[in-house]
Every structure is written in C-alpha cells, then in structure tokens.
Amino acid sequence: MTAKPTIAIVGAGSLATFLAVALDDAGFTITEIVARDSPQSRRKARKLAVKVGAQAVTANSAALDATLLWFCVPDREIRGAAWFLADHLVARALVHQNVKIRFALHSSGALSSRELAPLHSAGVEVASAHPLMTFVAGARPSLTGVPFAIEGDAAPTRVARRIIRHLGGESFSLPASRNAAYHAWATMPAAGLSRQDARRKSLPIIRQTLANYSRLGPARSFSGPLVRGDAETVAKHMAALKKHPGAREVYVALARAALRGLPVKNRDELKRLLQNEKMQILR
C-alpha cells in the first residue's frame, strides 16, 4: 500500500485529539471520530471532528469507511472496542455492504497488538504503534524525532512505519513480550534496547515533560497510567520491575508521592496496590 491510508480515530481524548490533528496536518484524511455514546464524549468528538474535517459518530452509527482504524482509548477499553467494531464489520459484510477497513492500530505502550485480535474475524490485520511522548491538555508537542514502538502483523506495521515517517517520528520494533518492561520506562534495556539507545529515545519525552511543567505547572503536566487511574497497567509495570529491585523501589516511591500531591483517578485502588508493593519490598 503506497497511497496515504484514510483513517478513522476511535476515541476523542488527549491522545486522539493530538494524533488526529497531527495526521491532518501531515496530509492524511480523517474520515470519522468514533466516540462513546455519552454527551461528554460526543461533545469532544464533534469539537475534534470540526478541526480535522471528519464526521463525529458513535460506534453504532460509524460508517467505518476508512482504510485504517486507530484506537486511542484507555488500555482497559481497547479489547472491548475491538470486539464491538469487529462485530459491526462482520454484520455489514453479511449483508454485502462494502467494508474498507484493512488495518487497525492501537497506541498503548503496555499492551500488545493482541488486544485487537477480535478484528481478525473481520479480515482486519492489526498492530500497535506507541509514541514515547506525553500528551496533556494545553500542550502540542512536536513529533519530530519521537520514537514509536511498533509490533504486530506485517502489513499494518509497514503502514504504521510510513505514517510515522510522514509525522516526523522514528519507528523501532518491540517484541510483544517486552511491552510492559518498555512502558515502565525504567527498564527499557530489559525491553531489548541498549542503555545508549534508551537514553536517546527518552530525550523527547523528558524535554516535553519539562516544557509542560514550566508552562502548565505540575498538576496539568501529569500524564500516564496513574493520572488515568489505570491500576492494571501499574501492576504490569511493577511485575516487569521485579527483576530490577532498585528501579522498582524508585517507581513505588514516586507513584506514592504522586498519589499524595497530584490529581489521580481511582486513588483508593492505586493506594492499596502500591501499599502491597511497598510491603513486599520491605520483606
């Protein structure tokens, strides 16, 4: 596939907003912003759709007339959204409606492309493409030189690499078994990167985080699984860090400090999880 694929974005949050605008600026056609069927999500989708010349739809009303689906939803919602849209595509095929979707990507750093496996039933090939960058409201970081971790089926990984080149980023392969270690960041060498390569790939997100902190302050610069209240991803991080006790101690200490001083969702569950980890470290 040599032409630029048309893209439907699933989600309307910070990452979806940033990627949709960046893709539009790079000359990609965004056909739809697929949002949850709730007033807040539909409102966000309409606002984003206006920016990129797309249609704001829900999963039930989506035409899915793009070449590629790009999932920009919380980690815990990726598989469910993939199941729903796979059923939608299969149902359309059964009544002889034209189905254009060929590829799907998600941008979770901690999860592999297997989260999108339900789409295989609709003949869609899948991959993951995670930008090592922080995305917060009020900031629009450059993607120039930003590394994207890529893994999945052969064809969509090739498509993802071409898209990333158009965005100014750099792609590298990441085995699915090493996603959690990579996403925990402190153990990027455990994910197969050399220390020198890990430092180089970390520089864009470090610089952007400092720029956000300087301009927006600490609370509005906070991103990642803690601020989202994603206890499952935090647990994956700590499991990956068990072979690296020093990094694990630092991770737990910083996470506990974040719970005390920064806006965090799902605070009680995260607090219990981190307290259990602290007790295990002290044993």
Contact status, residue 270 vs residue 251, Cβ threshold 8 Å: no
Please name which of 184, 262, 259 lies closest in space to residue 273, comparing C-alpha atoms: 259
**Average pLDDT for residues 122-131, to the nearest whole number?**
96
pLDDT of residue 190: 67
pLDDT tens for 223-282 read 889 888 999 999 999 888 888 888 888 889 989 998 988 888 999 999 999 988 877 876
Domain-by-domain residue ranges, the chain? 7-179, 195-282
pLDDT of residue 66: 96
**Average pLDDT for residues 189-206, to the nearest whole number?**
85
Q: 187 falls in which pLDDT band (50, 70, 90)?
A: low
pLDDT of residue 244: 85
CA dist 87 and 94 (Å) reads 11
Contact status, residue 128 vs residue 112, Cβ threshold 8 Å: yes
Query: Is residue 194 over pLDDT 90?
Result: no
Using a pLDDT cut of 90, give the percent of the chain over it. Answer: 66
pLDDT of residue 1: 58
Q: 31 falls in which pLDDT band (50, 70, 90)?
A: very high
pLDDT of residue 154: 97
Read out DSSP for 191-258? GT--HHHHHHHHHHHHHHHHHHHHHH-TGGG--SHHHHT-HHHHHHHHHHGGG-HHHHHHHHHHHHHH
Ramachandran region, residue 142 (left: φ > 0; alpha: ψ -120 to 50; beta: rest): beta
The dihedral built from the CA positions of residue 25, 183, 112 and 162, taken in this order, carries a sign that is positive
Least confident of 5-9, 100-104, 181-185: 181-185
pTM of the model as a whole: 0.90
pLDDT tens for 214-224 read 999 988 998 88
pLDDT of residue 52: 97
pLDDT of residue 2: 64
| CATH of 7-179 given 3.40.50.720, 3.40.640.10, 3.40.50.970, 1.25.40.10 | 3.40.50.720
Q: 78 falls in which pLDDT band (50, 70, 90)?
A: very high
**Average pLDDT for residues 194-216, to the nearest whole number?**
91
Query: Is residue 145 over pLDDT 90?
Result: yes
Ramachandran region, residue 96 (left: φ > 0; alpha: ψ -120 to 50; beta: rest): left
Q: 178 falls in which pLDDT band (50, 70, 90)?
A: confident
pLDDT of residue 93: 79
pLDDT, mean over the chain: 91
